[in-house]
Amino acid sequence: MARKRLPPLNWLRAFEVSAKHLNFTQASYELSLTQAAVSHQVKGLEAYLGVLLFKRLPRGLELTQEGKAYIPVVSQAINKLIGATDELFGSNNSKPLIIKVNLVYFLNYLAPRLNDFITQYPEINLNIVSNIWSEDGEKDFHFDIRHGEGCWTDVYFDRITWDKLLPVCHPICVNGKEPPSSPNQLNNYQLLHVIGYRSGWQHWLDQSGFHHIDVSGGIRLDTLASAMRLAEVGVGIALGRSSLIHEAVKEGRLLIPFKQEIATNEAFYLISRPTTFENPDAITFRNWILSQVTNSDLKDLQC
């Protein structure tokens, strides 16, 4: 069956603006047309559809039942077309690339590398926001960098870290003592736990062969960023992720006291929606961040 030809876009636009104002004269101001031209376009649309979309009243317009049913569809289609046109062809200066990001990943991985992206692509404006308080259903982003096991639906995702779990602490003083030299000493130190991470201290100890260590005590925090900061200032020992501790270890802010490193299935992922790849800047950012990924996160670290 042949698809019915769509009515002219200018007729649909005249209908949409007239429905917004319920007045042909006011619609003509917005469309930069004469009142007669707007009225003529709406009449053309009505003739094409074979129904009246407006009741003509002495002081304006009123949508008919057919008009009320049609206006949401027309408005949605026009707004989607405007958005896609702006996304693809609009000025980059007015349309930043929105990146939601896990805070600890931003502070310890992305921030130290971001100047490289800015230097290579100065024309791309970035809008970076923490996703710590975001709802999963929110759609106002091009990319969302999340931590998890890669089990999301209705989105695209690229894995961007392959982490090993490593204890980290202040290099000189932890809980008023020297850093531990063996996992057997961990009962004498404050352990920093992160709520929501499946691979925690119990997993690391079990996999390392130190089942007897009691992990029931310690401090529980809702972000790894908080645990890493407390480890830096000597409050306790955190379980770091290899992709996140390079800078702190190289700069002497953190120490890896033991050689045991345990792999984890949890990782950071670059999440995107199908419409993300309509944006050339988004494609550039994705290619750049994937170029930063390395499977040898520990190559520069010394225990």
State the DSSP string of 148-188: E-S--SSSEEEE----EEEEEB-SS-BTTBPPPSSGGGGGG
Q: Indicate the length of the chain as a whole number.
A: 303
Higher per-residue pLDDT: 288 or 3: 288
- Among 19, 54, 89, give the residue marking a domain's end: 89
Are residues 215 and 301 located together in one domain of the fold? yes
CA distance 287 to 292: 9
The model's pLDDT over 77-104, given as tens digits with 9 standing for 90+, comes to: 998 888 777 766 665 445 789 999 999 9
Say if residue 116 is in the same domain as residue 53. no
Give dist(CA 224, CA 105) in Å, integer. 9
Residues 206-251 have pLDDT tens digits of 999 998 888 888 999 989 999 999 999 999 999 999 999 988 999 9
Q: Are residues 152 and 265 in the same domain?
A: yes
User: What are the pLDDT digits (tens) for 145-164?
Assistant: 999 888 888 889 999 998 89
Asked whether the whole model's pTM tops 0.85, one would answer no
Asked if residue 254 lies in contact with residue 178, where contact means CB atoms within 8 angstroms, the answer is no
Containing structural domain, residue 38: 9-89
pLDDT band at 292; cut points 50, 70, 90: confident
